[in-house]
Chain A
């Protein structure tokens, strides 16, 4: 593929602490994610999944190695540039939604755009558009506590993809949802990727990893294995 990867991690290490107390949370990690790709990350707890996600989103800094988002190396950016990159290009989806309770669904979704200087009315229009895409048209004026768990997670996904964001980082996004609602959330993330975004999905559910194009397995901070999937046409031909 000749397109610029959305995410490129090269020989990345993350060590917490020093000397005898040092913990190697991630070792010699190489990972490239292209536009359109949904990559699931699996592994036992403590294997480095969340560390990987935090490094990819610039929430944490690698001890060694390079992390590039859309070609920009995070380690070389100023704090202000890194914050701008996080606002404009990276969206997060967490297990507990992390919505602001005093803002409506539409205001929650518009927030990253407004923080980035987009005019309020324009941000609101964009927010309503994305809310409709995730099946929440007409619910933009509700506050989070008037929404179900599944609806709140849809709002969180809308917030993660609003604007020009090309990288979605999801940490157990279906953890608090029932199986059917969880599937719908995965289908939404899948649809965003089919539309050209890229996503990293941390999950311990094999069923959810099934939505990914690729599944990487971490153990003790090392990428130990990954699956590859033939293209869908050949699968359908054999069905």
Chain B
């Protein structure tokens, strides 16, 4: 992660200007990851070079709005589809991924949660096995224990996210679909 994926997720909602992307990014990640507008434009340039976004021309004020492309959508889908590994976590990518997932239409957030839960528990299984099969060495086992506790905490947090998602989906009415027989509001 992945300012790249963050921007792609935001553009999946709607085409946006660079400044808008920065504001939305910070709002979505709860201000835990401040971006400067330069980073946004550098990233947009790379995304455009890679064919994942495309500019939609300038408006009267000379601002360029960017839209996600079909390959961009594929890239985003494979990001949501993959579990985060401890190596690619300079920031809490998982928390950010979930914060974005709940705002992007069409993402099965419970599936994202479960994929991560399974990956984290597999990691716990590996750590437990290492702990029991390796000759006990105190320093080493403390490090393994730290990793086990971290993984355990992550699963607890995922359980919490799932419960919160369920509660939210029970509260929220299904999206309003305009009835076909209703007259248009503007006449």
Contact residue among B148, B159, B162 (Cβ-Cβ distance under 8 Å from A210): B148
- Residues of chain A lying within 8 A (CB to CB) of residue B118: 215, 217, 225-227
Whether A206 and B132, one on each chain, are in contact in the complex, defined by CB atoms closer than 8 angstroms, is no
Quick check: B128 and A210 within 8 Å, CB to CB? yes
Interfacial residues of chain A within 2-41, with CB under 8 A of chain B in the complex: none
Which chain A residues lie closer than 8 Å to B101 at the CB level? none
Docked Cα-Cα span, A40 to B130, in Å, equals: 18
Beta-carbon nearest neighbor of A190 in chain B = B132
> Which of B11-19, B20-28, B62-70, B149-157 has 4 or more CB atoms under 8 Å from chain A?
B149-157
Does B121 lie at the interface of the complex (its beta carbon under 8 Å from any beta carbon of A)? yes
16 A-B interface contacts by CB (under 8 A): A44-B162, A204-B159, A207-B124, A207-B149, A207-B152, A209-B125, A210-B127, A211-B128, A215-B122, A217-B114, A224-B114, A227-B118, A230-B126, A235-B129, A236-B134, A239-B134
| A contact face: mostly helix, strand, loop, or mixed | mixed
Task: Answer whether residue B49 sits at the interface, using C-beta atoms and an 8 A cutoff.
Answer: no
Contacts of B114 in A (CB 8 A): 217, 224-225
Contact status B130-A239, CB under 8 Å: yes
| Distance of A189 from chain B, by nearest CB (Å) | 12
Known: A206-B124, A210-B148, A211-B125. 17 other contacts (CB 8 A): A44-B162, A204-B159, A207-B148, A209-B121, A209-B124, A215-B121, A215-B125, A217-B114, A217-B117, A217-B118, A226-B118, A227-B122, A229-B129, A232-B129, A236-B130, A239-B130, A239-B134
Q: Which 9 A-B pairs have the closest CB atoms?
A: A210-B124, A206-B155, A210-B128, A227-B122, A207-B152, A229-B125, A206-B152, A232-B129, A227-B118
Which residues does chain B contribute within 8 Å of A44, judged by CB atoms? 159, 162-163
Residues of B within 8 A of A217 (CB): 114, 117-118
User: Which chain A residue has the least Cβ–Cβ distance from B149?
Assistant: A207
Question: Does B133 touch A at the CB level, under 8 Å?
Answer: yes
Q: Are A228 and B156 in contact (CB under 8 A)?
A: no
Render A72-94 as a binary contact track against B, CB cut-off 8 A, 1 for contact. 00000000000000000000000
Report the contact-size class of chain A (Cβ under 8 Å from the partner): 20 to 34
Residues of the A chain whose Cβ atoms lie less than 8 Å from the Cβ of B134: 236, 239
Interface membership of chain A positions 190-234, coded 1 if the CB is closer than 8 angstroms to chain B and 0 otherwise: 100000000000001111011111010100000011111110100
Cβ contact within 8 Å between A206 and B156 = yes
Contacts of B162 in A (CB 8 A): 44
**When chains A and B are docked, how far (Å) is the Cα of A235 from the Cα of B134?**
11
Contact between chains at A229 and B126 (CB < 8 Å):
yes
Please measure, in the bound complex, the distance between the C-alpha atom of A227 and the C-alpha atom of B83, giving whole angstroms.
Answer: 13
Contact B125 A212, beta carbon cutoff 8 Å: yes
By the criterion CB–CB under 8 Å, are A210 and B133 in contact?
no
Q: Which residue of B lies closest to A204 (CB)?
A: B159
Counting CB contacts under 8 A, is A187 at the interface? Answer: yes
1/0 contact string of B94-119 vs chain A (CB within 8 Å): 00000000000000000000100110
Interface set, chain B 69-101, CB cutoff 8 A to A: none
**CB nearest neighbor in B for A227:** B122
CB distance from B85 to the nearest CB of A (A): 13
B133 touches A232 (CB 8 A): yes
For chain A, residues 157 to 184, give those with C-beta under 8 angstroms from any C-beta of chain B. none
Per the bound structure, the CA–CA distance linking A232 and B130 in Å amounts to 8
A200 CB, min distance to chain B CBs, angstroms: 16
